[in-house]
Structure 1
Amino acid sequence: MPEPQTAAPFQVRPIATRRGPDPRQDRSARTRLLVLTAAAELFAARGFRHTSMTDVADRVGMTKGAVYFHFPTKEALAVAVVERYYAHWPLLLQQATAEERGPLETTARLLAGAAAALRDDVVVQAGARLQLERPRTDAELPTPYVDLTELLAALLVRAEQAGELHREVSPYAAARSLVAAFFGTQHISDVLHERAHLAERWSETAELMFRAIRAG
């Protein structure tokens, strides 16, 4: 992995797939968002394989043809949901950076914001599930975790340069460990409690993780 010097803006990956028309009117954009949100609710609850375009149409109260006008395939719907999932990360980074804390605290706040989003936002929940189901879907989705790991590594390199990171800790190893701990925590919270206590469980894990990597 090349050594990043700064935390560059998180890139939302364009995903090549057949899409519906580009919405140019407010009404079309609102309808498209309604369809996408309904699909996200179903993907989050049932997964890709057990969600059909008819299910989405029924949930949003539209004909199946109207749904197909905005999203020509179920794969296109899944891609749109995952793209919105990725679009949350730069927003979370912007919010964490706006508080003008040190890079290590920015990293902690970014992950805390992600935990809240996974607990509360159905599109984020659906995107996370669809990423896990990549081998079982027909949609071409990006490899999960890679971009987030690189983003955290960039922040932790800055933390190392600022003297905030423990001298024996590698920024890259710490980034990989934080990503593994974060998504492991959210998965267990989802399985046991439907993420109801995710923020609290991640706070416990984060306290241990950041205590271990912070300069003493």
Structure 2
Amino acid sequence: MAGLFNEVGYEAATIASLVERTGLTRGALYFHFPTKEAMARGVLAHAVTREGISPQEYKLQEWVDLGLVLAYRLPREPLLRAAVQLSVDPKARSLFGTRWPDWIDVGQDLLGEAKKRGELLPHAVPEEIARLVVGAWTGVQLVTETLPDSPGLAEEIARLYQLILPNVASPGVLAKLDTSPHRPERLLRPSEGPDAPGA
């Protein structure tokens, strides 16, 4: 189901094609999802996740990790890709919106805590940073997937943070943040976390 939304978009994904893709009967599909809109909402419900994010010394690192881990997971997970596809699909967006406000809220919470701890520069406004980075992140993702020689989403998102952070992070914190595109892979291997020997 998620793969079909990702491939053809919301409008072109018919119930017949969803039945064929899932291998379910129409009755079984309708038992779980009474409408195509309900199916799309189910995909979007899984879009906002903190999987792979663990508490760090700096809340600003957790905020960076959120974007880096999502960038690592997105190309590998059809459900997340479908959620992004539905969020940029004009028809789907007009029917049930996007999860971008939720991503903004998650980022704003982390950045607000970072501000309280003195991790952000005095002029940095958490609400503005969260909103602009969600927009920039989405734009980078959309452009990256269309470029034939793209270095990959995690690499591009790492560069995005490397450009933004000097303008918002206090110097002492900035020097300790890890924006490596390889960090998400380490975070998603709990037995070999980012602080493990050799990591």
When normalised by structure 2's length, the TM-score is 0.76
Question: Residue 188 of structure 1 aligns with which residue?
Answer: 143
Deviation at 1:202, TM superposition (A): 0.7
**Aligned residue number for residue 87 of structure 2:** 131
Residue 36 of structure 2 corresponds to which residue in structure 1?
A: 74
| Structure 1: unaligned runs, 5 residues or longer | 1-38
Counterpart contact for 2:86–2:93, Cα < 8 Å:
no
Q: Which residue of 2 aligns with 1:103?
A: 59
Q: Report 1:63-212 matches (<5 A).
A: 63-86=25-48, 89=49, 91-92=50-51, 95-96=52-53, 98-133=54-89, 135-137=90-92, 140-193=95-148, 197-212=152-167
Q: Distance in 1 between matches of 2:148 and 2:96?
A: 27
For residues 70-123 of structure 1, the C-alpha deviation after alignment (integer angstroms, 9 at most, x for no partner) is: 22221121111111223xx2x33xx42x24331111100111111112221100
Equivalenced residues, count? 171
Q: Distance in 1 between matches of 2:159 and 2:40?
A: 32
- Is the Cα contact below 8 Å between 2:72 and 2:153 reproduced in 1? yes
Q: How far 1:137 sits from its partner (Å)? A: 3.4
Taking only aligned residues, the RMSD between alpha carbons, in angstroms, comes to: 2.3
> Is the 1:156–1:175 Cα contact (8 Å) retained in structure 2?
yes
Q: Which runs of 5+ in 2 are unaligned?
A: 172-199
Overall identity of the aligned pairs, in %: 27
Describe the superposition over 1:144-182 as per-residue Cα deviations: whole angstroms up to 9, x where unpaired. 421221221221122122121112222222222211221
The answer to whether structure 1 residue 215 and structure 2 residue 181 are counterparts is: no
Q: Partners in 1 of 2:13 and 2:152 — Cα distance?
A: 27
Distance 1:181 1:146 in 2: 14
> Are the structure 2 counterparts of residues 66 and 147 from structure 1 closer, same or farther at C-alpha, using a change threshold of 3 Å?
closer
Separation (CA, whole Å) in 2 of partners of 1:138 and 1:185: 19
Matched-pair contact (CA < 8 Å) for 1:119–1:195: no
